[in-house]
A and B are shown apart, each in its own frame.
Chain A
Amino acid sequence: MGLTLAEKIISQRIGEEVRAEDIVVVPVDLLLAHEGTGPLALDRFGALERTRPATQVLFFSDHAAPAPRRELSNVQKRLHTFADQTGARFYPPGEGICHQIVAERWARPGQIILGADSHTCTAGALAAFATGMGSTDIAVAMALGQTWLRVPPSIRVEVDGSLPPMVTAKDVILHLIGLLGAEGANYQALEFGGFTVAAMSVEERMTLCNMAVEAGAKTGLCAADEQTHRFLESCGRADSYTPLAPDPDAHYERRVHIPAGSLSPQVAFPHFVDNVRPVEEVGDVPVDQVFIGTCTNGRLSDFRIAARILQGRRVHPGVRLLVCPASRQVYLDALREGLLQVFVEAGGLILPPGCGACVGVHQGVLADGERCLSTQNRNFQGRMGNPEAEIYLASPATAAATAVRGRITDPREFLQE
């Protein structure tokens, strides 16, 4: 019997064949943490009486970038100082969201990546086994260069057919989470495949893998193929490419089939990510803020589809539109293409690359009773800084359409115009 992608990556990395449910000690290729989780990891690392990390570590200032308070500037400084002293890498405010930078500059097929951030699974789009853990696990991996984990059983998600216009990877993953439920993949891996996924760019696959954790999954994975090669090439890292695919006779815990051709834009209602409805069933939902950005949907292809709708239009007078590129590279590319100009001319506001608005640290905190439609991955109560507010989740296309109309809007309305 063959191996799933998760089984294959772990088997290759430890040099012996392992299967779902095996508990193994694995080498770790890359570790990441940010100002919210890194300081605690450094405390633990110090308690373990170590001074230099045993593997490559990246620290990011992305959750509070630039820092709104001295407590946060101080922890950013601490990470920076540690990195300077130990050979770890520090990314200052403005460089972007950790998961985006990992994809652009570090991740490669077959790696094992741990991050003190739950959306570390985003790198699964490049066929890396990437998963979120807490600060203690990151510190232990820093000290030992390895971690223990249970090889996850996999759910194979087959997406077939062509996505209709204005229906995107975000709609696929929201629909899937609605099907599986918030713990439907707890302790498992989601392995994405099928015609639609094969046709998706790595950017779109990152949207799928990013939200695997919203179904409880340990990681989300896509095979490494021509799309992966193209992406790595565009990042100047063609030599990082190796093809990697699951075996055709691999054993899956479950198979889920999503016919892409019949999918509509999807919206997750407050306060749970699995509270998903197709846009036709949304009803009349006016919003006060629209947010396009984050590690889920802050990339160039996301901005392109949003700009197509916003080009030559104005944001509804009752709505604040916030746009946040996921990295400096995305920012520059969007600048060169004129996309940021479209957003600003429409009445939008551009935020520096980072996570602050999504996590409720700063920038875009909602008022009591307000509603936001966001392209982010979570809508838990209090997520954007105010427990008295509501968050709806959708794609960049739905977000742009909503920004124009002032209420949650089917982006396909803009196809005819």
Chain B
Amino acid sequence: MERILRGKVWRFGDGISTDHITPGRYYHLRGDLKALAEHTLEDADPEFARNARPGDFVVAGKNFGQGSSREHAALVLKERGIQAVIAPSFARIFFRNAVNVGLMPIICDTDGFETGDEIEVDVVEGRVRNLTRNFERTFRPLPPVMRAILESGGLVPHILRYGGLQWQDTP
């Protein structure tokens, strides 16, 4: 995992639910992640579903990922190549799912970010620079154990690597 991430912003509002991210009407596609991912967030912003590119960021308002426990909500964002989701707060199940599947959640004030902005994130120092609008925000970096899980590509590869529920800090 790179320490410095750079990419383009897709901006969303408060309370984006798992029904926005992976609508229930595509329930039958859960076994086909690629097909399901084509509909990612389409009810919140159809442009995102059509045009999001690997390396982009989702930047949202508070309580991102509220609602269902469907891990597919985190998986489709990862499948689309989203580098990180940045929001001032996350619903707890989504946050845990994101780390478990290797999608980075960043808890940070997102006021002032707009779709199309270029940003640069330092995941170790905990800084987001908005290169388009020329301002910087800081955030508390994820604890080392979560970074280690992300580094492994998710919880399953992490467990295979460390041989168990390695939840204390890893080197």
Interchain CA distance A187-B95 in the complex, whole Å: 11
| Interface flag for B24 (CB, 8 Å) | yes
Query: Contacts A23-B167, A134-B96, A381-B43 known; A182 to B66 CB distance under 8 Å?
Result: yes
- Interface pair B159/A132, CB less than 8 Å apart: no
Let me know if B92 is at the binding interface, CB within 8 A: yes
Task: Judge if A383 is at the interface, Cβ distance under 8 Å.
Answer: yes
Q: Counting CB contacts under 8 A, is B165 at the interface?
A: yes
Q: Is A106 an interface residue when CB atoms closer than 8 A count as contact?
A: no
B4 at the binding interface (Cβ < 8 Å): no
Residues of A close to B71: CB separation below 8 A: 37, 40, 116, 134-136
Q: Say yes or no: is B5 at the interface (Cβ < 8 Å to chain A).
A: no
A16, chain B: closest CB distance, angstroms: 17
B96, A137: Cβ atoms closer than 8 Å? yes
List A contacts of B66 (CB < 8 A): 182-183, 216, 380
Asked if A146 lies at the interface with its beta carbon under 8 angstroms from chain B, I say yes
Contact B28 A72 (CB under 8 A): yes
The number of chain B residues touching the other chain, given as a range, is 35 or more
Q: Mark B60-80, 1 if CB is under 8 A from A, else 0.
A: 001100111111101100000
Does B91 interact with chain A (Cβ within 8 Å)?
yes
**Is A309 interfacial (CB 8 A cutoff)?**
no
CB distance from A375 to the nearest CB of B (A): 17
Q: Check B156–A187 contact: CB distance below 8 A.
A: no
* Cross-chain contact of A359 among B24, B97, B154 (Cβ < 8 A): B24
Stretch with Cβ within 8 A of B (4 or more), from A63-71, A232-240, A313-321, A338-346: A63-71
A135 and B72 CA atoms in complex are apart in Å by 9
With beta carbons under 8 angstroms apart, the residue of A39, A148, A218 that contacts B31 is A39
Encode contact with B along A120-148: 1 for CB under 8 Å, 0 otherwise: 10000000000011111101100110111
Say whether B27 contacts A186, CB under 8 Å.
Answer: no
> Interface segment, B12-20, B119-127, B128-136?
B12-20
With A135-B71, A183-B89 already in contact, the answer to whether A44 and B156 are too (CB < 8 A) is: yes
Are A186's CB and B165's CB within 8 A? Answer: no
Judge whether B3 is part of the interface by a CB distance below 8 angstroms.
no
Q: What is the 8 Å Cβ interface bit string for chain B, positions 90-120, against chain A (1 contact, 0 not)? A: 0111001100110000000000000000000
CB-contact partner of A134 in B31, B67, B93, B164, under 8 A = B93
In the assembled complex, which residues on chain A have CB atoms less than 8 Å from the CB atom of B97?
A: 133-134, 136-137
Whether A365 lies near B25 (C-beta < 8 A) is: yes
- Residues 15-70 of A contacting B (Cβ, < 8 Å): 23, 25, 36-37, 39-40, 44, 47-49, 63-64, 69
Contact (Cβ within 8 A) B69 A75: no
- The 0/1 profile, CB within 8 Å of A marked 1, for residues 37-70 of chain B is 0000001100000000000000000110011111
Q: Is the CB of B89 within 8 A of A186?
A: yes
* Cβ contacts under 8 Å, A134 to chain B: 69-71, 74, 93, 96-97, 100-101
Cα distance A136–B72 when bound, in Å?
A: 11
Residues of chain A within 8 A of B25, CB atoms compared: 360-361, 365, 382, 385-386
Interface pair B30/A36, CB less than 8 Å apart: yes
Complex partner residue of B19 from A39, A132, A383, CB under 8 angstroms: A383
Pair B24/A382 contact, Cβ less than 8 Å: yes
In the complex, chain A residues whose CB is within 8 Å of the CB of B9: none
State in angstroms the CA–CA spacing of A361 and B30 once bound together.
12
Determine the distance from Cα of A260 to Cα of B53 in the docked complex, in whole angstroms: 52
Q: Can you list 9 A-B pairs, Cβ within 8 angstroms, ordered by A? A: A37-B69, A71-B28, A136-B100, A137-B96, A140-B165, A147-B165, A378-B19, A380-B20, A387-B43
Chain A residues within CB distance 8 Å of chain B: 23, 25, 36-37, 39-40, 44, 47-49, 63-64, 69, 71-72, 74-75, 115-118, 120, 132-137, 139-140, 143-144, 146-148, 182-183, 186-187, 213, 216, 218, 272, 359-361, 365, 378, 380-387
Q: Interface of B with A (CB < 8 Å)?
A: 15, 17, 19-20, 23-25, 27-32, 43-44, 62-63, 66-72, 74-75, 89, 91-93, 96-97, 100-101, 154-156, 159-160, 164-165, 167
Given contact pairs A120-B69, A385-B25, a sample of 13 additional A-B residue pairs in the complex whose CB atoms are under 8 Å apart: A74-B31, A115-B69, A134-B71, A134-B96, A136-B71, A182-B66, A183-B89, A186-B63, A360-B23, A360-B27, A361-B27, A380-B67, A385-B24
